[in-house]
Amino acid sequence: MSLPSDAPAKSPSTRQGQLDICRGIAILAVLFIHVSGHFLTILHPAKSIQPPGWAWDVLAVPNQCFQWAVPCFLMLSTLVNAQSLARSPDIQRYGSRRVQTALLPYLLWSGLYIAVNFALGTLYHLSLGHIAKLLLTGTAHFHLYFFVLVLELYALLPLPVPLFRRRPPFWAVALGAVAFQLTIYGLNRFVPTTAHRFQSTILWDVLPVALGLWLYSHAAEMPTRILRTWCWVAAGAAVLSLLIYEPLALHLLAFPKQHINTFLYQIGQWGYTAGMSVLVLALAFALGRNSLSRLLSYFGGQSLAIYVMHPLAIIALDKLGVNHRFGVGAGLALYYAACLALPLAAAWAWGWGKAGISAVGLRRLS
């Protein structure tokens, strides 16, 4: 998910291993969001006007609690790529690298999902205009919007990085980010010419981007201060925001046609996801070196493959009718395992194939 930067961060302050652990935790949360969301629509269709049952509640509560996952990835992408820009401020090289690691994979996977959806009959017609719209909005499949957010982030990131080299204090970054985010909310909500135009853009996720930039500017202090101070501030913000966000989120999920207080919902969501993103990063630092952290680090290293491929497992299981053959608990476990196993198996096969081709090439050269 956090698309590669020019090179892995190698200085002790960046702690690439901990960032991979954080990615690993976040990608597992993403899988739960998507798999549980799949079963939530079965238990309680969007058009239903009846209150959902207890099984829906059991899935819906953690589904909404894990919504910090994508903001966390945005925070990590900002942190890693800001460090990359600081090490090598060559904008041309930076742009060329992002085309290779983000734009081209996005176009490739979008094309694949467009073909799959057309073959399955869920995409009824194709035209150049429609395909262009799918690519510009990241809607070739439900999860590809993340690529659009990251591409927008990459395009804008060279602007604030020089400012954050001056190590601005947290209060200044927080006030500026909150003011900017509220301005975007106001434009999106009240100005007719810009109404509902920002929710699918990176401007709707300014807080995790600001956090990533601030962490970049204080990277040398991160290993110690994130566990001593920052995590407690983040925990307080997450708990208070969750009390606002969760009831509104559950109501909106159960009855999407009913109105809620969107201002409170967004304030709660932004505060909760920002606080949890920092907490998960703190957890990654706290885990140390053990079997669990190594496993999570491996998942983090494969997070992009897991993210782009896991919907194929959901599609395949649905076509086999698996979601109707088991109860919710067994079905959820099976879908989750398949969403994790398919991308990991594909990544292993790809790595094995590349190693084999390289070995054959070396033998011929020798």
CA distance linking residue 120 with residue 132, whole number of Å: 20
Has residue 192 been placed in a domain?
yes
Has residue 9 been placed in a domain?
no
Residue 248 to residues 51, 64, 266: CA-CA distances in angstroms?
A: 15, 10, 10
CA distance linking residue 223 with residue 215, whole number of Å: 11
pLDDT at 12: 39
Rg (C-alpha) for the chain, rounded Å, is 21
List, in sequence order, the alpha helices (H) in the chain.
16-43, 54-65, 69-87, 91-98, 104-120, 128-137, 145-156, 161-164, 170-190, 206-217, 222-225, 231-254, 262-286, 291-301, 303-319, 328-365
**CA angle, corner 149, sides to 282 and 72, nearest 5?**
10
Domains identified in the chain, total number:
1
Phi and psi of 196, rounded to 5°? 60, 30
Average pLDDT, the chain: 89
Has residue 120 been placed in a domain?
yes
Tokens at 87, concatenated = 């090490």
**What is the mean pLDDT of the segment spanning 348-366?**
67
CA distance linking residue 76 with residue 83, whole number of Å: 11
Tokens at 43, concatenated = 């238990």
CA distance linking residue 347 with residue 226, whole number of Å: 33
Residue 121's domain comprises 16-358
Around Cβ 343, how many Cβ atoms within 10 Å?
Answer: 24
pLDDT at 160: 95
**What is the mean pLDDT of the segment spanning 286-314?**
94
CA distance linking residue 149 with residue 132, whole number of Å: 16
343 against 366, higher pLDDT: 343
Has residue 172 been placed in a domain?
yes
Residue 270 has pLDDT above 60, yes or no: yes
Has residue 1 been placed in a domain?
no
Tokens at 230, concatenated = 């920052």
Side-chain-side CA neighbours of residue 207 (13 Å)? 27
Has residue 277 been placed in a domain?
yes
Phi and psi of 320, rounded to 5°? -85, -5
Has residue 364 been placed in a domain?
no
pLDDT at 7: 42
**What is the mean pLDDT of the segment spanning 267-288?**
95
Cβ within 8 Å of residue 77, ≥6 positions away: 1, 2, 3, 150, 153, 212
pLDDT at 6: 44
Has residue 10 been placed in a domain?
no
pLDDT at 257: 82
43 against 239, higher pLDDT: 239
Residue 14 has pLDDT above 60, yes or no: no
Please report which confidence band the pLDDT of residue 5 belongs to, taking 50, 70 and 90 as the band edges. Answer: very low
130-139: long-range contacts at Cβ-Cβ below 8 A with a sequence spacing of 24 or more? 134/110, 135/107, 135/110, 137/200, 138/106, 138/110, 138/200
pLDDT at 258: 86
**What is the mean pLDDT of the segment spanning 149-170?**
95
